[in-house]
Amino acid sequence: MGGELLSNLPWLKPLLRTEFYKQCECESLKQCSFFCRDCMGSAFCEDCLYHPDKHVHHQSLRVYKSSSRTGLRVHSIRSLMDVSDIQPYTCNSSKLVYINRKGRKGHGNHINGRKGEKCEVCGYELQLLTSKFCSIECKVSSEIEVMEEKKEEDFVPISISTRRLIHVDPNSFRKRSRKGVPQRSPFL
């Protein structure tokens, strides 16, 4: 599952590492609020988006800022990846999912004095019970962990007890071989 997400979306890792809302390299007065899925490079501004030599006919994502955090509109990212288990946040009457994690592992917030569900990766308090993650980064991290655990399960060396099971006499009624030589208890 995790491998599928990253292999089907090669632009996802570069997106997570990109720094947005800084001064653009083209020295425009506009801030970097776009990410090109084709180039997978650094963020760029609106002037670069419409420049005829730069990102013509490329697939770009607009990044928004809410509560000093960067996010993508749900309706624009939903067609590219499943975000149903990521906590949506409202910004100017549109739903956003944050790109980078909200909290740190072990640090949670309490919403309205009640204890809610927490992000499976970083432990940030979530508002919706249907959400598992606070951001795209946490979802990707979780799927990478699942992928690594699956690799470890596939690479289990055959132990000595497993080898014994393989060499059982086919004429025996036993499912497993004996652990050792059977001994009778002594008569007193």
- The pLDDT value recorded for residue 171 is 66
Q: Is residue 88 part of a domain?
A: yes
Q: Is residue 33 part of a domain?
A: no
Q: What is the pLDDT of residues 35-93, one digit of tens each?
A: 999 888 889 999 888 887 887 778 899 999 988 899 999 999 998 999 999 999 988 88
State residue 69 phi and psi, 5-degree precision.
-125, 150
92 φ/ψ sector (left φ>0, alpha ψ -120 to 50, else beta): left
Give the chain's domain count. 1
Q: Is residue 126 part of a domain?
A: yes
- The pLDDT value recorded for residue 115 is 57
Highest mean pLDDT among 16-20, 50-54, 151-155: 16-20
- The pLDDT value recorded for residue 44 is 92
Q: Which of 74, 88, 93, 174 is nearest to 135 (CA)?
A: 88
Q: Is residue 108 part of a domain?
A: yes
Helix (H, G, I), strand (E, B) or coil at 31: strand
CA-CA distance, 73 to 18, in Å (whole number)? 17
Q: Give the pair of three-digit tokens for residue 26.
A: 């083209």
State yes or no: pLDDT of 151 exceeds 90.
no
- The pLDDT value recorded for residue 133 is 92
Q: Is residue 162 part of a domain?
A: no
Q: Is residue 97 part of a domain?
A: yes
> What's the pTM value of the predicted model, to 2 decimals?
0.70
Mean per-residue pLDDT for 136-148?
87
Range of the domain at 137: 2-20+63-154
**Is the model more confident about 118 or about 105?**
118
The total of other beta-carbon atoms located within 10 Å of residue 160's CB is 6
- The pLDDT value recorded for residue 144 is 85
